[in-house]
Amino acid sequence: MERKAVRNLRLCTKDCLCLYVCPTGASDTEDSVIDVDRCIGCGQCADACPSGAISLVPVKYPRQQEKDEDVVSSLMDLAASRARQEAIAEAVGESGDREGLRRLALAIARSSRISAEDLVREAGFMLPQSDGAIDLLRSLVENPPVSFPVESARRLVSLLERRR
């Protein structure tokens, strides 16, 4: 299975042993993100790292677990409700002159989005390069709503296809 190294910047303590062992220089970058185009997935860096900051992830991921229709629809009901809550909270945050309420409302808006994202993840949209996500993008490219960014979606499909 083809793999690539990734670095967790929160754990990295800049001991730089990955730089010493990397045969292609992929781990030595100005933004500390391992260069995936150079990485050959040998795993030397992960073995050498004393802080456990580097792990190897597959280039191609397995399919998401099958989801039952009833589970999907009940999670989607919740996500739809949370999405409405986000929009209302945003409107509350943008209106009025009460500073505390403004911050509380924006926190609720952000919280609603995070929660709703988690729910749709479990409803079948976990992996960006999954069949479901690519099919959804394709259907939007074929029947785009008004002023939909078709070219961006097309480019995205071609990027995702490589990792499907």
Partner 1 sequence: MKYICSICGYVYDEEAEGVPFDSLPDDWTCPGCGAEKAMFDPQEESGTGLAGSFERHVSGVATMTKLTPAILSIVFSNLARGSGKQYQGEEERLYGEISSYFSSICDGEEADLGMLQTLVAEDLAQRFPAALESAQERGDRGALRARLWAEKVSRIVSSLLSRYGREGEAMLEGRQVWVCSVCGFIHIGDDAPGMCPVCKVPGWKFDSVS
Chain residues 9-48 in contact with partner 1, contact rule CB under 8 A: 10, 33-34, 36
Q: Which two tokens mark 25?
A: 């220089």
Separation CA 27–CA 123 (nearest Å): 36
- Interface with partner 1 in residues 123-162 (CB under 8 A): 123, 125-128, 133, 136-137, 140, 145-149, 152-153, 155-156, 159-160
Separation CA 145–CA 72 (nearest Å): 24
Residue number, 42 or 81, with CB nearest to partner 1: 81
Decide: is 121 part of the binding site for partner 1 (CB under 8 A): yes
Per-residue burial over 122-149, b = 16 or more CB atoms within 10 Å of its CB, e = otherwise: ebbbbbeebeebbeebeebbeeeeeeee
Considering the complex, what minimum distance in angstroms separates the CB of residue 83 from partner 1?
Answer: 4
Binding-site member from 30, 37, 99, 142 for partner 1 (CB under 8 A): 99
